[in-house]
């Protein structure tokens, strides 16, 4: 009997469900809208209902599903399955998705961060397939994270809480972040930051009427204020990245997420900052690329992660408990 595998993508506004067969072919999808806040117990109930609705729509019995992978927008103890923190969904903190959902569905639950899911599939199917050492940068609307491959292994900290690139300090006495710290990268290199930089030059524009796509269009038309906003954002991103590059010296930096479509506008500043601040040859010969998987990255990553973990089909090595001094 053929097994099926389910991926559950948790985002700030939606939960997306994907059902795939043993050949990774998508057989069904379902989307669940989320309120701004909800209790963790109710959320698990919604995940359970969404899973069964996906099975119903796909005409696949639930008992044919062998494993379920879940991506979380935040930090996660990947061993226990407990959410450590999520600045975009703070009510997820402390929720043990692996245990709570596994108990309800009686399935193998494989939780991980969205950045790690994207890094896993980028190495298997995407632009990073030929690299043994690379950094994956996830740029979303108001959230920045990273995945790191070292010596052909996915790097995790002891509790899976590494790679919070968005909370690397780039201005020690800077703007207050949602995490309660000051000067975090997310305050200086998110789409909100780029819009803020633009509005400073275009005082007549209203914040409520300017969105990222507007700035992408304006930058494409050589609008000075828009180009300057992206350059400033790229400078801060470069400051954050050089701290990682000086330590791990990657072969490539891969950019993914919705914000990466502006790569041509901010990459020159990223590269210039990295070249200026790099330690000797740590930044030499680094390839800077955009993910080739686009909007399919999480969907593909989840279904591949579910099946490959269940069958041990993909030799994914993980570095745990690493301390770099």
Tracing tokens 């059902």 back to the chain, one arrives at 19
Q: Over pLDDT 90: what percentage of the chain?
A: 64
pLDDT reported for residue 317: 58
Task: Tell how strand 14-20 and strand 26-33 pair up.
Answer: antiparallel
Per the domain annotation, does 321 fall within a domain? no
Which band of pLDDT confidence, cut at 50, 70 and 90, is reported for residue 325?
very low
Per the domain annotation, does 319 fall within a domain? no
> Rounded mean pLDDT of 13-25?
95
> Rounded mean pLDDT of 228-255?
94
Residues 268 and 301 grouped into a single domain: no
Question: ∠59-63-67 over CA atoms, to 5°?
Answer: 105
Cα within 13 Å of Cα(159), Cβ side = 10
Residues 96 and 192 grouped into a single domain: no
Per the domain annotation, does 122 fall within a domain? no
> Rounded mean pLDDT of 217-225?
94
The C-alpha atoms of residue 149 and residue 213 are separated, in whole angstroms, by 31
The answer, yes or no, to whether residue 2 has pLDDT greater than 90, is no
Q: Which residues face 14 on adjacent strands?
A: 33
Among 159-168, 170-179, 211-220, 224-233, the range with the most confident prediction by mean pLDDT is: 224-233
Which stretches of 64-190 are DSSP H helices?
A: 97-105, 114-125, 186-189
Per the domain annotation, does 50 fall within a domain? yes
Q: How many separate domains does the chain show?
A: 2
Strand order in the sheet with 4-10: 26-33, 14-20, 4-10, 65-72, 108-113
pLDDT reported for residue 158: 64
State the CATH number of the domain containing residue 73. 3.30.420.40
Residues 156 and 105 grouped into a single domain: no
pLDDT per residue as tens digits for the range 120-137? 999 999 999 999 999 999
pLDDT reported for residue 211: 86
Which band of pLDDT confidence, cut at 50, 70 and 90, is reported for residue 315?
low
Show the domain range for 174: 130-292
The answer, yes or no, to whether residue 141 has pLDDT greater than 90, is no
Residues 111 and 70 grouped into a single domain: yes
Tell which residue, 119, 103, 121, 101, has the closest CA to residue 111.
Answer: 101
Region of 305 please: left (phi>0), alpha (psi -120 to 50) or beta: alpha
Per the domain annotation, does 304 fall within a domain? yes
Strand ranges inside 36-133, DSSP E: 65-72, 75-77, 82-85, 108-113
Which band of pLDDT confidence, cut at 50, 70 and 90, is reported for residue 206?
low
pLDDT per residue as tens digits for the range 59-114? 999 999 999 999 998 888 888 899 988 888 888 899 999 999 999 999 999 999 89
Residues 36 and 113 grouped into a single domain: yes
The answer, yes or no, to whether residue 316 has pLDDT greater than 80, is no
Q: Over pLDDT 70: what percentage of the chain?
A: 92
> Rounded mean pLDDT of 160-183?
85
Q: Which residues contact 278 (CB under 8 A, 6 or more apart)?
A: 242, 245, 246, 284
Positive/negative CA dihedral, 207, 213, 216, 217: negative
pLDDT per residue as tens digits for the range 32-55? 999 988 899 999 999 999 999 999
Q: Which residues face 139 on adjacent strands?
A: 144
Per the domain annotation, does 93 fall within a domain? yes
Strand ranges inside the chain, DSSP E: 4-10, 14-20, 26-33, 65-72, 75-77, 82-85, 108-113, 134-139, 144-150, 153-155, 252-256, 287-290, 317-319
The answer, yes or no, to whether residue 208 has pLDDT greater than 70, is no
């Amino acid at each position: 009997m053929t097994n099926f595998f389910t991926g559950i993508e948790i985002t700030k506004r939606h939960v997306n469900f994907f059902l795939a067969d043993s050949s990774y072919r998508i057989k069904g999808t379902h989307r669940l809208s989320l309120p701004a806040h909800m209790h963790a117990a109710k959320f698990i109930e919604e995940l359970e209902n969404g899973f069964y609705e996906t099975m119903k729509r796909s005409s696949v019995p639930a008992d044919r599903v062998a494993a379920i992978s879940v991506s979380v927008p935040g930090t996660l103890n990947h061993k226990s399955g407990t959410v450590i923190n999520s600045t975009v969904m703070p009510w997820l903190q402390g929720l043990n998705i692996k245990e709570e959902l596994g108990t309800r569905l009686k399935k193998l639950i494989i939780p991980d961060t969205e950045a790690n899911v994207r890094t896993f599939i980028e190495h298997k199917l995407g632009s990073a397939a030929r690299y043994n050492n690379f950094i994956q940068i996830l740029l979303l609307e108001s959230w920045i994270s990273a995945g790191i491959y070292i010596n052909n292994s996915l790097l995790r900290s002891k509790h899976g809480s590494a790679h919070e690139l968005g909370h690397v300090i780039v201005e020690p006495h800077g703007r207050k972040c949602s995490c309660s710290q000051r000067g975090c990268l997310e305050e200086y290199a998110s789409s909100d930051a780029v819009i803020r930089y633009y509005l400073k030059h275009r005082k007549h524009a209203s914040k409520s009427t300017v969105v990222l796509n507007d700035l992408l269009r304006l930058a494409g038309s050589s609008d000075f204020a828009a180009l300057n906003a992206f350059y400033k954002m790229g400078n801060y991103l470069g400051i954050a990245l050089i701290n990682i590059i000086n330590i791990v010296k990657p072969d490539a930096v891969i950019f993914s997420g919705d914000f990466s479509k502006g790569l041509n506008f901010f990459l020159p500043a990223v590269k210039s900052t990295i070249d200026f601040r790099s330690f000797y040859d740590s930044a030499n010969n680094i390839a800077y690329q955009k993910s080739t998987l686009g909007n399919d990255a999480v969907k593909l990553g989840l279904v591949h992660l579910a099946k490959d973990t269940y069958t041990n089909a993909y030799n994914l090595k993980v570095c745990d408990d690493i301390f770099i001094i």
